[in-house]
Structure 1
Amino acid sequence: MAESNNNSPATEAARVIEGKNVYFFGGGQADGDGTFRELLGGKGANLAEMSRIGLPVPAGFTISTEVCTYYYDNGRTLPATLDDEVKENLGKIEETMGKKFGDVNNPLLLSVRSGARDSMPGMMDTILNLGINDEVVAGLAAKTGNERFAYDSYRRFLQMYGEVVMGVEQYEDEHHDPFEAIIDAACEKRGVAVDTGLTGEDLKGIVEAFKALIKERTGNDFPQDPMTQLWGAVKAVFTSWNNDRAKVYRRKYGIPAEWGTAVNVQAMVFGNSGQTSGTGVAFTRDPASGENVFYGEYLVDAQGEDVVAGVRTPKPVAEMVNDLPKSYEELLEVRQKLENHFKDVQDLEFTVEDGKLYILQTRNGKRTGLAAVHIAIDMVNEGLIQKEDAIRRIPAEDLEHMLAPIFDAKAEREANKIGKGLPAGPGAACGRIYFHAPDAVAAAARGEKVVLTRVETSPEDLRGMIAAEGILTSRGGVSSHAALVARQMGKICVCGAAEVEIDYANATVKAGGVTIKEGEYISINGTTGDIYAGEIKTAPSRVVQGLIQGDAEAMSHDDYKKFAQLISWADELRKLNVRTNSDSPEQVKNAIAFGAEGIGLTRTEHMFFEGDRIDAVREMILADSENARREAVAKLLPYQKEDFVGIFTALEGRPGTIRLLDPPLHEFLPHTKEQQLDLANKMGIQVEEIMRRVAELHEFNPMLGHRGCRLGIVFPEITEMQARAILEAAAEVDGAKPEIMVPLVGFKKELDLQKEVIDTVAGEVREKYGLTEDQLAYTVGTMIEVPRAALTANEIAETAEFFSFGTNDLTQTCLGMSRDDAGGFLNEYQEQEIVTTNPFASLDQTGVGQLVEMGVEKGRSTRPGLKVGICGEHGGDPNSVKFCHKAGLDYVSCSPFRIPIAKLAAAQAALAEKEGK
């Protein structure tokens, strides 16, 4: 692994060698159960649990995640004791299934699959039909009387083993890999469209061609010994824990490298043994919409990889009642039993072998944010779970899916519809077509919106899927890789659009008589499956229409009602308050509609750029005397006061933290010759004078230069004007609760000097309006955004009446990384797992977090009850919100559209604290 766990390799090795490393399941018994996730991974724990509750699970065993840790800590070797444990448990499988591994007359074949604690669909490697060889295939054909089935199983094993274990490289063109090229050639020779039309003789030829390909590409013969095959597959699964796509996936979903994966070895059952057999993937509820319907797909005479790989477009699971009616009825009973037992929507894989149903695995189903909310609320209403369970299980970030835009109804009606596929990820996506993941990533990096368009996706496309707004495939069903991963990511997805012709060679999409070239626009509706040429105008989601616009029709929609119910539960449970970062009355109104309890940050500098105000700001900066500066600043006073009147009015008595001017002055000056000349003409001065002043204000490191409180100390007239505007506005708005925040304080004396200016102005405003101190109350605090402020917070709190952590700058100053320039190395840092997440998106809890905790503790040691919040962008990140709860903050502040996410995360943090987690 990239990082080991906290135990030393020697200690870990001893624990693995002495302990139990292999856990059996099957025949109604199991060595573990559903609580063994850390040891057996999610898949192994659930297989054990299903076996215990009597579901028809093929027998198998799980090699624990601790062996994976040992494997990486010890030079990719396995414990010596593992051989005996595997053989012992292999014997148990043989006894339970009535077959023997490697036996010619009654062969037991195995599947070897990964199983991390958290599901990572398609990211690691799988081997099916292991144990077959030249002798066993003949015996299997004789025993079953089905030569085609036997050789179909053999060619599948050779393909998987050749790629995964022996390293036959894939290549990118119209075929996925050289094995598929051989199959396509055989289909063309036989004159059939798909491999189900091939005969046993055809498959024999493919088997020989596959073995020859392996020898040619690797220089080694395919191993005929079943135990050699098994150990090769086990090591390959452990190795795949650190393949590129697994690492990308772990980074995206915050899965620690040190967790490792288990390996699940399970008896094969065969869905490809004829017309009374089949395989499928199903969800106990619709994972796209949340509707309480059995949702999934199946194929007759196929193995599971055929369904999820998208090579064949499967049938809806409801049609199974026609092809395999007895098994379908049994499957419905399993559906109910799984939901009642696991209390959550389940994603299950099943196989029917000659009319007998087997359940191969179950896991909590990956679902869209929309579905997550609907399913959780419905399950509470059905009495399956409590409201606390609903709060726990919805990833807070997923609420963003319910706020995402949809297509404008009128624009969609008028658009050029060119085709239709299966709706697999709800919402509206519009972007430029790109066919390959690297091109999609590059286009997104240029700022383009992308729709990744593929015949079918595979795990190798993960980076492109992350970069894309939406995903379109011409093959594969709603349980395909594209659909599964898209739903988890909240990506808009239309798959299985058979009428869409995707031509990689010519880089075009053809459908409905229209040809769209790579780089041109396409629009997809992941709720209906409709596909359109060109761009379509979008509209706010129903939740946004209801909250912000007060639209009665939207408010009557189930999406809105369930969203509102969830947030009301979160409000009951959370302890952290949630405020907004808003700079205008309109933004504040939107934030209040989303449930903001006040303002945590208003950036006053944003107001300086509106209308003609910038001219007065520039006049102030260019002034060569205090009197001239005061004259210029006076022109800004009425504008600022008007802004604050609007903001306090919109707050309706809620508190509002207003930050004084923060950026360096040069940001307000014109930097091109044309702009400087225009300003010179307006001010009636020589352009050279402006050029000279711009040069004087140039700073080598503006972020650490003349900005924040340093501006107010050198030019107190700026602080005076802003304080007067804030306090006069407060005097004119009933119930206004101004909190004046001084930025970039690192020394107590800085805050003392600024507070003196503010207090002096406050006295003048009270006298002007005839108000007492109680009638015009305000507080003065500071933004903790440099390490020294956190280190000396006990001193600063003697003056400061509140703290607000500006974690954007605190991260920059703590880590010595520029938020704007870190892109040159930050991706590589994440690749190398130096940092697990972008520290500017999710708070660095180990480093920056210590400064926050220190600031809270020291500040409250001086001023008990000190109000403390966070107003950096981290205030809307769920993991950061949970940290803020733990650190004892009073509130977080974030942009309006992140408020519901912060509320849900805060409720989850409160529940975790209550449960001692």
Structure 2
Amino acid sequence: MQNDPHTTLITADAPVTAETHGGRTKCLQRLVRLELPVPRTVGLSFDAVHKIARGEMPDMAFLLSPFEAGELLCVRPSSEDPDWGGPSAILNIGMNDARFVDLAERLGKEAAASLYARFVHSYAVLVARLDPDVFDEIGMEGQASLSEALRAYEEETDEPFPQDPAVQLAEVLRSMARAWEGTSARLLRQAKGAPADAGLGLVVQSMALGFGAGECGSGVIQLVDGQTGLEQLTGRYLSQSQGRDALDGGSEALFLERDPRGPSLEDLAPQAFEDLIAYATLMRTKLREEMQVEFVIEDGRVHLLDGVRVARNSRAAVRIAVRLAEDGIITRQEALMRIPPSALNELLHKQVDRTRARDVAGRGVAASPGAATGRIVFSAAEAQASAARDEACILVRRETSPEDIRGMHAAKAVLTERGGMTSHAAVIGRGIGLPCVVGASEMRFQIRKKLLTGRDGRVFKEGDVITLDGTHGEILVGEVSLLEATLDDAFKTLLSWADLERDIGIRANADTPADARTAKNFLAQGIGLCRTEHMFFEDDRLTVMREMIFAENSEDRRAALERLLPVQRADFTELFMTMAGLPVCIRLLDPPLHEFLPSDHAGHRGLAEALDLPLSEVTRRVEAMGEYNPMLGMRGVRLGIAVPEIYDMQVRAIFEASINAAKSGAPIVPEIMIPLVSAKREVELVKMRIDVVAAAVRAETGADFDYKLGVMVETPRAALRAQDIAETAVFLSFGTNDLTQMTYGLSRDDAGRFMSEYVKQGVFAEDPFHTLDVDGVGELLILGARRGRAARPDLVLSMCGEHGGNPESIAFCRAAGFDYVSCSPFRVPVARLAAAQLAIFDKLG
């Protein structure tokens, strides 16, 4: 049997693998190799179980041959990944009337009856598929329960309970195999990430009873806390029990080590306790993992039934991996490879405790991770008012605009009806670490009436409390239990190891000094994108900006911009000082001017008062400035060429700020980036004006300085003509948000309405605004990179769109020879880990 590839006695050299027999079978073989006290075990392969599901049973005599006559058995599932689950284990197979008599003499009638009753209950419910309520009412303890269970089985099936152990085992195997192959089970494990054709192995094992004279029972033990990852002996033990009874034993379950709160296993069976600690420690060292051990004690002697990886949250996973590496059990590289980069999001933000019940009112796109509870507000002004009262609030909008920035900063989370992963709310939310759910189109948003209707018809009004789960895209009713963010020493240690491995730079997209401080705290290697427009939406600045927009001529525009120069210079100075000599790439003004103007009648009236103009004139000018598609209109470099005074003011502020910051001793070489370029001539025109301003600042201050000029590649033409543009620009930074939008002809704000259907029907494999389209958009990046470096070999290449923090995008950029990626500050740790894993993977081949 040992050499049979499908019905295999588990020995040290039996031919079993996790890929053919499942993880449990392979783990048991490892325990056997360590000469640990594992009951005799036979493993059935995936192929054998698949055949059983089709009705092709194995040779039962052959299967039973390793076991002693009359020995009780159990059958447990063994899937390739324990997280994929499997049918419930069935214990005490082989229990019948004759065996009951034998065990009654050895264990006593009550204990023997309990063993028999437990088997009848499991067999009736899991194998014969009888009504579980009938048998739950009967119970599983003692002779009365046994008699009633046997009677109920016979009544429900019109036949006596089967007495032949071979028949019992065959039916158990058939039932478990068919359960795994069933549609419900298949859908359930696919939801957990298992492939549709995932196999199931089965483990047939001698029963260690857990009942009898002396100290007998069962329990589980692990050496760490699965919630914190801290070293802590965890588990329970229950006398006279089987399986995982100890976990459901309530007040009857015992502590493992001595505890002032009650009796413990260490008190009752000190030698067994000592053995368990030794076995668990050996497993940790030899299996190179923190393991949960399932055990049975018979008359003081320990039997190990199973060992599974300790279930853990992300916080515990990081601590466990780091401690295993620090103890020399695994390498630092392996510790890095064990943590999914996305898991770090759970450490950076508060999270919903998903072990607790929660009431879901609606769902949307999980656009920015984290969770927050607060009262509903429907405007940015109301959010600011709530913050002033020190009341947590959730800002609810159809979609956000730059005017909502202050309200977003005041809110604890943002919910929008429209939008996708690169919508305004999503980008700003990720940038400032604000939980955000967008595209919640299954809910009804009535902003004017200040009502929000859930998918089931429940109505929420302003002031009602909800919880937003930006990690999973859920809108929850009321206040729910939240887990705190955790940035401990293990987190910092892991990322320090990551920085030693990675071979691509990681910068942050940071628009304000506060964003820059966050980026610096997360050890970003500079700022790869500073969007200057976000600096203009404070009340005092916005009014001046509007005066500039309404100016009749160049001189009036300059006069208004002179008032913005000091605040812009102060912002840039603080930005440079915060980054302390690290590179800072500043994008010149990008959005169309109408975004700085009010869009409603009340706003027009307020602007008319501020500018001392007739309301009709303000309304006319605002309407005249509107564009059919402003995202393809006068914005970016087009605005800089048409209204050059804006860029003149901004570059002057950058140069003067760099001079101020350099006085602290940190060398400052600002990087100036021109947005939305399509042609070489656009860059030349802007560069000529920048050089004029630079010369003027040098003459006025007597200070010398340098700067780097680059282009944000957001149009397909810029990528295709990169060789021309690179003659004037020293760096190209690919803005994949707009580049994806223009390549597909999709609106990133509106595509969410149909994108899920497109993905579902296979039009797109993924939402291209969420996962970089390497075939289409990616080809433009590769063409742009190759052509740009053909013209300028030292051309610096980067990606600064929201894709920049995705592991898949980082892999693409590494392969394409990019120098760095830039992402939201709170995604910097994720990107650092992902980049390290990619480098390690390449080294390992």
TM-score using structure 2 length? 0.74
The answer to whether 1:267 aligns with 2:205 is yes
> Which residue number corresponds to residue 763 of structure 1?
695
Q: Call closer, same or farther: CA 1:79–1:856 in 2, change over 3 Å.
A: farther
Cα deviation, residue 737, structure 1: 1.5
> Which residue number corresponds to residue 885 of structure 1?
814
Contact 1:676–1:690, Cα closer than 8 Å, also in 2: yes
2:202 match: secondary structure? strand
Cα deviation, residue 836, structure 1: 7.3
The answer to whether 1:291 aligns with 2:234 is no
Q: Call closer, same or farther: CA 1:264–1:882 in 2, change over 3 Å.
A: farther
Q: Call closer, same or farther: CA 1:599–1:449 in 2, change over 3 Å.
A: closer
Q: Which of 41, 55, 65 matches 1:59?
A: 41
Q: Which of 168, 179, 202 matches 1:236?
A: 179
Q: Which of 28, 32, 37 matches 1:47?
A: 28
Contact 2:373–2:480, Cα closer than 8 Å, also in 1: no
Cα distance in structure 2, aligned partners of 1:25 and 1:794: 66
> Which residue number corresponds to residue 94 of structure 1?
64
Post-superposition Cα deviations, 1:80-135, rounded to whole Å, max 9, x if no partner, equal 99977x726x6665233335xxxxx556442234333xx41xx5332322895xx9
1:97 match: secondary structure? coil
Cα deviation, residue 400, structure 1: 4.2
> Which residue number corresponds to residue 103 of structure 2?
144
> Which residue number corresponds to residue 508 of structure 2?
580
Contact 1:680–1:687, Cα closer than 8 Å, also in 2: yes
Cα deviation, residue 700, structure 1: 4.5
The answer to whether 1:712 aligns with 2:657 is no
Cα distance in structure 2, aligned partners of 1:434 and 1:42: 29
- Supply the AA of the counterpart residue of 1:328: F
The answer to whether 1:31 aligns with 2:9 is no
2:192 match: secondary structure? helix
The answer to whether 1:605 aligns with 2:548 is no
Contact 1:44–1:115, Cα closer than 8 Å, also in 2: no
Cα distance in structure 1, aligned partners of 2:705 and 2:247: 66
Q: Which of 61, 68, 80 matches 1:115?
A: 80
The answer to whether 1:695 aligns with 2:623 is yes
Cα deviation, residue 641, structure 1: 1.8
The answer to whether 1:905 aligns with 2:834 is yes
- Supply the AA of the counterpart residue of 1:388: Q
2:525 match: secondary structure? coil
The answer to whether 1:780 aligns with 2:709 is yes
The answer to whether 1:875 aligns with 2:834 is no
Cα deviation, residue 277, structure 1: 4.4
The answer to whether 1:379 aligns with 2:361 is no
> Which residue number corresponds to residue 6 of structure 1?
none
Post-superposition Cα deviations, 1:714-737, rounded to whole Å, max 9, x if no partner, equal 333322222222223223331212
Post-superposition Cα deviations, 1:323-364, rounded to whole Å, max 9, x if no partner, equal 555543332222122112122222333344676544343343
- Supply the AA of the counterpart residue of 2:671: E
- Supply the AA of the counterpart residue of 1:374: R
2:278 match: secondary structure? helix
Cα deviation, residue 801, structure 1: 1.4
Cα deviation, residue 839, structure 1: 5.3
Cα distance in structure 2, aligned partners of 1:677 and 1:96: 90
> Which residue number corresponds to residue 754 of structure 1?
686
- Supply the AA of the counterpart residue of 1:689: E
Cα distance in structure 2, aligned partners of 1:273 and 1:744: 76
Cα distance in structure 2, aligned partners of 1:747 and 1:233: 66
> Which residue number corresponds to residue 278 of structure 2?
333
The answer to whether 1:645 aligns with 2:573 is yes
Structure 1: unaligned runs, 5 residues or longer: 1-18, 69-77, 100-104, 169-177, 187-194, 216-222, 406-427, 452-468, 470-518, 523-532, 544-558
- Supply the AA of the counterpart residue of 2:572: F
- Supply the AA of the counterpart residue of 1:115: E
Post-superposition Cα deviations, 1:486-506, rounded to whole Å, max 9, x if no partner, equal xxxxxxxxxxxxxxxxxxxxx
Cα distance in structure 2, aligned partners of 1:83 and 1:535: 48
TM-score using structure 1 length? 0.68
Cα deviation, residue 812, structure 1: 4.0
Q: How many residues align?
A: 719
Counting only pairs closer than 5 Å after superposition, residues 198-277 of structure 1 correspond to structure 2 as 198-206=141-149, 226-227=169-170, 229-239=172-182, 243-250=186-193, 257=195, 260-267=198-205, 269=207, 273=211, 277=216
Q: Call closer, same or farther: CA 1:885–1:147 in 2, change over 3 Å.
A: same
1:680 match: secondary structure? helix
Cα deviation, residue 695, structure 1: 2.8
Cα deviation, residue 143, structure 1: 4.5
> Which residue number corresponds to residue 745 of structure 1?
677
The answer to whether 1:654 aligns with 2:636 is no
Q: Which of 290, 306, 312 matches 1:345?
A: 290
Q: Call closer, same or farther: CA 1:438–1:369 in 2, change over 3 Å.
A: closer
The answer to whether 1:22 aligns with 2:6 is yes
Q: Call closer, same or farther: CA 1:630–1:386 in 2, change over 3 Å.
A: same
Cα distance in structure 2, aligned partners of 1:795 and 1:67: 64
Cα distance in structure 2, aligned partners of 1:822 and 1:140: 67
The answer to whether 1:798 aligns with 2:724 is no
1:783 match: secondary structure? strand
Structure 2: unaligned runs, 5 residues or longer: 105-111, 159-165, 258-263, 375-412, 414-463, 468-477
Cα distance in structure 2, aligned partners of 1:601 and 1:313: 60
- Supply the AA of the counterpart residue of 1:576: I
Counting only pairs closer than 5 Å after superposition, residues 78-89 of structure 1 correspond to structure 2 as 87=58
Q: Call closer, same or farther: CA 1:225–1:199 in 2, change over 3 Å.
A: closer
Q: Call closer, same or farther: CA 1:864–1:534 in 2, change over 3 Å.
A: closer
Cα deviation, residue 756, structure 1: 3.5
Q: Call closer, same or farther: CA 1:564–1:230 in 2, change over 3 Å.
A: closer
Cα distance in structure 1, aligned partners of 2:543 and 2:531: 19
Cα distance in structure 1, aligned partners of 2:335 and 2:644: 52
Cα distance in structure 2, aligned partners of 1:569 and 1:373: 12
Cα distance in structure 2, aligned partners of 1:286 and 1:273: 29
1:30 match: secondary structure? coil
1:670 match: secondary structure? coil
Cα distance in structure 1, aligned partners of 2:21 and 2:88: 18
2:232 match: secondary structure? coil
2:323 match: secondary structure? helix
Q: Which of 359, 362, 370 matches 2:315?
A: 370
Cα deviation, residue 711, structure 1: 2.4
Post-superposition Cα deviations, 1:202-238, rounded to whole Å, max 9, x if no partner, equal 25535665787899xxxxxxx9775354234223224
Q: Call closer, same or farther: CA 1:265–1:832 in 2, change over 3 Å.
A: farther
Cα distance in structure 2, aligned partners of 1:159 and 1:820: 51
- Supply the AA of the counterpart residue of 2:701: Y
2:738 match: secondary structure? helix
Contact 1:23–1:31, Cα closer than 8 Å, also in 2: no
Indicate the RMSD between aligned Cα atoms, in angstroms: 4.4
Cα deviation, residue 831, structure 1: 7.0
Cα deviation, residue 817, structure 1: 5.2
Contact 1:106–1:139, Cα closer than 8 Å, also in 2: no
The answer to whether 1:895 aligns with 2:824 is yes
Cα deviation, residue 658, structure 1: 0.4
Contact 1:618–1:669, Cα closer than 8 Å, also in 2: yes
Post-superposition Cα deviations, 1:766-814, rounded to whole Å, max 9, x if no partner, equal 333345xxx3211111223344444443443333311223233344445
Post-superposition Cα deviations, 1:522-581, rounded to whole Å, max 9, x if no partner, equal 9xxxxxxxxxx989999985x4xxxxxxxxxxxxxxx43x44433333332222222222
Cα deviation, residue 150, structure 1: 1.3
Post-superposition Cα deviations, 1:815-874, rounded to whole Å, max 9, x if no partner, equal 555444454455666777877776545545565444444443343333223222222333
- Supply the AA of the counterpart residue of 1:87: P
